[in-house]
Each structure stands twice: as structure tokens, then as C-alpha cells.
């Protein structure tokens, strides 16, 4: 990041948005029938998840099933199109109000998310984020999605590891916003911690 100023971190899915962005992207990309067929093909992985609750393994299975072999350029183009149509119905109005307030006060606003950076990237650019930290997809020698992750799933302790890798081991956040236990460690880096603060949905009035 080139600017100075306090750092404010936002989780993305469920915090800035009303639902999981990666799943919303897959539903949009595949359509109802294609999405249902691919979900059915993930039945074995879904059954394993019921026992081990391994979110990372489930994400890898979804990436392999839905995106394996897709050229990077095609994925990025689709992600941009998705963000254009989905932002008005995904982004929480009260979260956007807080985001804009922090930016107006001179803060450096960053997004730290478990969703793939390729999917969240267009949203982050549209919001003017100073930094996006997310899960990275792996690409093969032909620059196609390999079906694996290039980094660990960016949740829990991994969020802290990635923040420190990007901003320094002694980094301190002025504030952090999250909505799940996958954000607890990130909130632990912050002077002000907000869990589940945003509840507004697009098209509905702001609370209060």
C-alpha cells in the first residue's frame, strides 16, 4: 500500500455482502440446472464435510468441480461481469456506509476474505480498496485453473498470517469487521473489533 494512515480490515462474505460471494458467482455462472448438477457431483465431498468440517477441503473440491481447466483470462472476465451485475444486490448498505466513512477519515481500507481473489477483485477495485487479501487459486503451465489452491484457505489464523506477510509482523489494525469464527483471529489484531455489526440488505432502509 502506498498511502499512510490507520488500517481498517473488513471480511467480505457476510460482512460487506449478504452471502458467500464465491457460491453466488458459481450459481450465476452455471445457472440453476448446471449448478445443481455440479453440487450433486460433490455429494461425496459434502458427506465428508458433515463429519470433518474441513472448509478448505470442501473449497478445493468445489474449485476442481466448477472451475478446473478454465483459463485465467476467462475467469477474470467472468468475475468482472458478475461483480457488475451482482454488486447492487450483494453489498450491504450499512457496511458500505462504514467503509466510506473510514476512507473519508483517511484510513487504509483492506479486504481479507476466504473467497478467491479473482472473484472478489472486481468488487475490491470498485470499492477503492487499498489491499485485497484472499485465497489464491493455482494455475497450470497453460494458465488454466488447476483445481487446487495456491495458498491455504484464507480464514482463521491464515488471515493473520497473510496480513502480517503483506503489512509486517508488527502490524496493528485500527478496526476490523467480521461475521464468523473465521474472523476471530483477525479481529484480535484490531484496537476496535466488530462482529456481526452489519445487518442491512440491499433495497431496504438502513437500521436506525
Mapped onto helix, strand or coil, the DSSP state of residue 132 is strand
With a cut of 70, say whether residue 141 has pLDDT above it: yes
List, in sequence order, every residue forming a beta bridge with 199; answer none if it has no partner.
Answer: none
* Spans of all domains in the chain: 7-195
- Which of the two residues, 176 and 47, has the higher pLDDT score? 176
Helices (H), the chain: 21-41, 43-52, 55-67, 72-90, 93-104, 117-127, 157-167, 184-187
So what's the pLDDT on residue 41? 85
The CATH class of the 7-195 domain is: alpha beta
- Which of the two residues, 75 and 43, has the higher pLDDT score? 75
Q: List the Cα angle 117/119/123 in 5-degree steps.
A: 95
So what's the pLDDT on residue 50? 44
Calculate what percentage of the chain has a pLDDT beyond 90: 83
Mapped onto helix, strand or coil, the DSSP state of residue 160 is helix
Please give the Cα distance from 99 to 68 (Å, whole number): 34
C-alpha torsion 201→5→193→159, nearest 10: 90
With a cut of 90, say whether residue 30 has pLDDT above it: yes
Calculate what percentage of the chain has a pLDDT beyond 70: 90
pLDDT tens sequence across 179-188: 999 999 999 9
At 49, is the pLDDT very low, low, confident or very high (cuts 50, 70, 90)?
A: very low
Dig out the grid coordinates for 191 from the structure: 484496537
Amino acid at each position: 500500500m502506498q498511502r499512510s494512515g490507520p488500517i481498517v480490515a473488513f471480511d467480505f462474505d457476510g460482512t460487506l455482502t449478504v452471502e458467500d460471494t464465491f457460491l453466488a458467482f458459481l450459481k450465476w455462472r452455471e445457472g440453476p440446472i448446471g449448478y445443481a448438477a455440479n453440487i450433486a457431483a460433490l455429494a461425496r465431498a459434502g458427506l465428508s464435510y458433515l463429519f470433518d468440517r474441513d472448509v478448505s477441503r470442501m473449497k478445493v473440491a468445489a474449485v476442481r468441480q466448477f472451475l478446473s481447466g478454465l483459463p485465467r483470462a476467462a475467469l477474470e472476465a467472468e468475475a468482472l461481469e458478475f461483480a457488475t451485475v451482482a454488486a447492487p444486490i450483494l453489498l450491504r448498505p450499512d457496511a458500505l456506509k462504514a467503509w466510506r466513512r473510514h476512507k473519508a477519515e483517511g484510513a487504509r481500507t483492506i479486504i481479507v476474505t476466504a473467497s478467491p481473489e479473482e472473484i472478489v477483485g472486481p468488487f475490491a477495485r470498485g470499492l477503492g480498496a487499498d489491499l485485497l487479501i484472499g485465497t489464491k487459486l493455482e494455475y497450470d503451465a497453460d494458465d488454466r485453473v488447476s483445481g487446487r489452491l495456491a495458498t491455504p484457505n484464507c480464514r482463521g489464523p491464515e488471515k493473520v498470517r497473510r496480513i502480517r506477510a503483506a503489512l509486517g509482523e508488527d502490524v496493528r489494525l485500527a478496526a476490523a469487521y467480521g461475521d464468523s469464527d473465521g474472523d476471530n483471529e483477525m479481529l484480535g489484531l484490531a484496537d476496535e473489533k466488530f462482529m456481526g455489526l452489519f445487518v442491512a440488505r440491499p433495497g431496504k432502509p438502513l437500521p436506525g
